[in-house]
Amino acid sequence: MNNQEYGKMVIEELSQTLASIPTADADKFVALINEADEVFCAGAGRSGFQIKGFAMRLMHMGVHSYVVGETTTPNIKEGGLLVVCSGSGETKSLVNHAQKAKEMGAKVALITTNVESTIGQLADVVIVINTASPKVQKQDAIISHQPMASLFEQSEGIFMDIVIMMLMDSKGMDADTMYGRHANME
């Protein structure tokens, strides 16, 4: 296969995963962000890279957003929201973060392949990316020709960009408004 054929295959896989996310779940995810005083973002590995981009876009919107584990991240409390990206929903450090968030009275949103995971059971909303991963095999999963969990990681990133667009609509914002908060010390 050539690069264009691979590109078409990846786009088709992404179309399937994104179309399988129920609108009601996406709407609830957006509502939790709109209701939160602060949004804390956590993920490990490539999911960690994706969630950092989401925290940045939230900041561009004027949302008080933080990446868990960074030195300037404050404590989570009631009124906060923890957004976790975890394919398995079982990564120990992320389970600990979710448990602490619930203990403090905060809400939890999870993007995962595994709704029945430990974090899934704690979460106020679960966004299921319906694909298999090396750690979670499912009967009805969308099959990917990409290596490892690439389809999950791409889908979660694009889903979070879609959430930003939904938030922009709900707040009457556009890209120009957001660019006003773009970093100027690069």
Residues with catalytic function: 153
Count of residues in the chain:
186
The residues, any chain, with a CB within 8 Å of residue 104's CB and separated by 6 or more, are: 75, 76, 77, 78, 80
Residue with the two structure tokens 């993007």:
111
d(CA 153, CA 49): 9
Give the long-range contacts of residues 143-152, CB within 8 A, separation 24 or more.
144/13, 145/9, 145/13, 146/10, 146/13, 149/46, 149/87, 151/13, 151/14, 151/17, 152/17, 152/47, 152/87, 152/113
- Token pair 């992404």 is found at 14
